Structure 1
Amino acid sequence: MRSYEEAFSPYWHPVAYSHELKERPLAARLLGTELVVWRTGSGVSATQRYCAHRGADLCAGDVVGEGLRCAFHGWTYGQDGRCVRIPSQPGAPIPSGAALRSFHAAERYGLIWVCLAPQPAAPLPHWPELEDGSAATVALPRLDWNISAGRMVEIVLDVTHLSWVHRGTFGNPEQQEVPPYEVERRPDGLRAQITYPALAPGLEGAPPKVDKTMLTYEVVFPFAARLAFKPTLFFKHTVFAIASPWSEEKMQCFYFASYHPGLRMFPDIFVKSELAILEQDRLVAEAQRPRAHPLDFSGEVHVRADRLPIEYRRGVIALRLGRPVDAPVPG
């Protein structure tokens, strides 16, 4: 079994929203690694957070034409992490050890992504509707939860909890049975469709109404989920939840929705309702044990309705074992 860091370092993970990264360098953390990210003339860069000279925090530095300049002694690092300027001895050769660990960094879908490994194991998720201008987006503040990234994705995929955990938001307590559904295994993830009679929020004081909603779940391993809502009474929209692992027991989730740009009232409705829904999820998820994503199924009992989160966990376990995600795993 590979360590958590070894298994998931070769994948892209978000570390910030694009709107958070402005002219100043920004601190980030991924899989126990402290990072600093900053904008360059050609995109974004990510390196280790602390200066190779005396360990100063480079988040307090400045972005200049040559790269990232430390505020302590002015050492400046280029996009590849190598030191390009030492002001205290401008004529001397720069020591070979004057360099930062640098990492792959990219900006897409309103997120800053980082891959810690020398070579990414997979490309970034492919969500063309977020790039072709056909949809508007609205993001929630980052969700800092004391659970593993896999636990977060599992609760997003778990249709059986909707009628129980989400009472008072959109869950329908009268609908407890989950009809049979199929899960499609893909080389990079999973897909499933489930119909759920959600309670649509009442507008202008009206009571909520039962709204037969088609839920289409799509997973990109290891920790990205796309959930399309197609109701009959409420607005069609798609939710994206990408859990970014700080460690094996803590994560940040970047959570946003895409919607038709003509729905001007959607952002306010979404943010208010989704924060309430996710708080219900957080209370349950943070109380689960273990906080780390289980590596087998021996400590739990499952039923047919759990198939989607079970298939997801099988894929994550396969990654820990270094196997293809569609290969059988123990348990």
Structure 2
Amino acid sequence: MRSYEEAFSAYWHPVAFSHELKERPLPARLLGRELVVWRTGSGVAVTQRYCAHRGADLCRGAVVEQGLRCGFHGWTYGQDGQCVHIPSQPSVPIPPRALLASYRATERYGLIWVSLAAEPAAPLPEWPELEDGSVATVALPLLDWNVSAGRMLEIVLDVTHLSWVHEGTFGNPAQQEVPPYDVERSPHGVRAQITYPALAPSIGGAPPKVDRTTLTYEVTYPFAVRLSFKPTLFFKHTVYAIASPWSEEKMRCFYFSSYHPNLKKMFPDIFVKSELAILEQDRLTAEAQHPKAHPLDFSGEVHVKADRLTNEYRRGVIALRLGHPVEGPAPD
């Protein structure tokens, strides 16, 4: 079986929000590797974090015209990782081993994405509404959880926990049964839709009202989900959760929402406050699960049909881990 790092290194993973990267180089972590992210004249560069000379932290360096300059001895690297200048002996040929590991990087949807492989195994998710100017966006603070990326995605997809874990936020304790629902599966992800009688936020001290909300889950393997909310009493919005694996038992989630621009005065504050409360309920639950790593089979658990979405998702991730194609519907 392939290691966790080997299995997922060929996929695109976010390592930072674009707005985080300014003039200074930015530290990042992905699948056990320490990275440094910096802007060039042609885009974004990502290399190993530590200088090939004496292991200095390049995040303490500076971006200059030639590339990324180490703050310890001034060694400077191009975006391909090759050392281009050694100030202490400028007239001597640069040693061939004076280079950094460099990685593919791109910017899209307000995120900086990295693939650790020379050729990514799959494209980025397709979320055209984030690029056509039809919606505004608001991001949550970075979410660092002590669980695997797959565990985090599973709790976002779990339709059976809403009335239990989210009591006091939007969960409806009176709705415990999950009606039958279908799951669509493709080589690139899974999709499902349910209707849930959520409790709408209390406004002006009035008791919360039941709001029949249509939830549409669309997963792009391995660790990205777009979740659309279409309430009857509240406004429609969509959340995007991309879990970036630091290791097999720890991840950082980039979580943001799109919404109609006319709601800009009211939506961001409501969303950030309510979603942080909801996700804190999820974090406490997910971090208490055992094991923290994403299971590679179902032998240690008992499932019912209501778990179909999370089971379909897990089967796909297991196939990727094993290097098998993701195809066909899963059994009940």
The C-alpha deviation readout for 1:273-304, integer Å capped at 9, x for no partner, is: 00000000011000000000000000000000
Q: Letter of the aligned partner of 1:236 in structure 2?
A: K
Deviation at 1:204, TM superposition (A): 2.4
Deviation at 1:308, TM superposition (A): 0.1
Give the 3-state SS of the residue equivalent to 1:19 in structure 2. Answer: helix
Deviation at 1:237, TM superposition (A): 0.2
Give the 3-state SS of the residue equivalent to 2:122 in structure 1. Answer: coil
Matched, 1:123 2:127: no
Judge conservation of contact 1:142–1:255 (CA < 8 Å) in 2: yes
The corresponding residue for 2:31 is 31
The corresponding residue for 1:181 is 181
The corresponding residue for 2:286 is 285
Q: Equivalent residues in 2 for 1:98-117 (5 A)?
A: 98-117=98-117
Deviation at 1:92, TM superposition (A): 1.2
RMSD (CA atoms):
1.3
The C-alpha deviation readout for 1:157-183, integer Å capped at 9, x for no partner, is: 001000000000000000000000000
Judge conservation of contact 2:312–2:330 (CA < 8 Å) in 1: no
Give the 3-state SS of the residue equivalent to 2:242 in structure 1. Answer: strand
Judge conservation of contact 2:186–2:328 (CA < 8 Å) in 1: no
Judge conservation of contact 2:213–2:232 (CA < 8 Å) in 1: yes
Deviation at 1:91, TM superposition (A): 1.1
Judge conservation of contact 2:185–2:329 (CA < 8 Å) in 1: no
Cα–Cα, structure 1 residues 190 and 328, in superposed 2: closer, same or farther, change >3 Å?
Answer: closer
Matches of 1:195 and 1:75, distance apart in 2: 58
Moved over 6 A (4+): 328-331
The C-alpha deviation readout for 1:79-135, integer Å capped at 9, x for no partner, is: 100001111111111111110000001111111111001110011111000011111
Matches of 1:162 and 1:63, distance apart in 2: 47
Deviation at 1:240, TM superposition (A): 0.4
Gap regions ≥5 residues in structure 2: none
Normalised to the residue count of structure 2, the TM-score between the two structures is 0.98
Cα–Cα, structure 1 residues 145 and 298, in superposed 2: closer, same or farther, change >3 Å?
Answer: same
Matches of 2:133 and 2:207, distance apart in 1: 34
The corresponding residue for 2:236 is 236
Judge conservation of contact 1:60–1:71 (CA < 8 Å) in 2: yes
Cα–Cα, structure 1 residues 140 and 214, in superposed 2: closer, same or farther, change >3 Å?
Answer: same
The alignment of Structure 1 onto Structure 2 pairs a total of residues equal to 331
Matches of 1:172 and 1:305, distance apart in 2: 17
The corresponding residue for 2:302 is 301
The corresponding residue for 2:22 is 22
The corresponding residue for 2:54 is 54
Q: Letter of the aligned partner of 2:35 in structure 1?
A: L
Q: Letter of the aligned partner of 2:155 in structure 1?
A: I
The corresponding residue for 1:223 is 223
Compare 321-330 and 222-231 and name the one that shifted more: 321-330
Cα–Cα, structure 1 residues 67 and 6, in superposed 2: closer, same or farther, change >3 Å?
Answer: same
Judge conservation of contact 2:60–2:70 (CA < 8 Å) in 1: yes
Give the 3-state SS of the residue equivalent to 1:301 in structure 2. Answer: coil
Deviation at 1:44, TM superposition (A): 0.4
Judge conservation of contact 1:318–1:327 (CA < 8 Å) in 2: no
Q: Equivalent residues in 2 for 1:153-302 (5 A)?
A: 153-263=153-263, 264-302=265-303
Gap regions ≥5 residues in structure 1: none
Matches of 1:46 and 1:71, distance apart in 2: 17
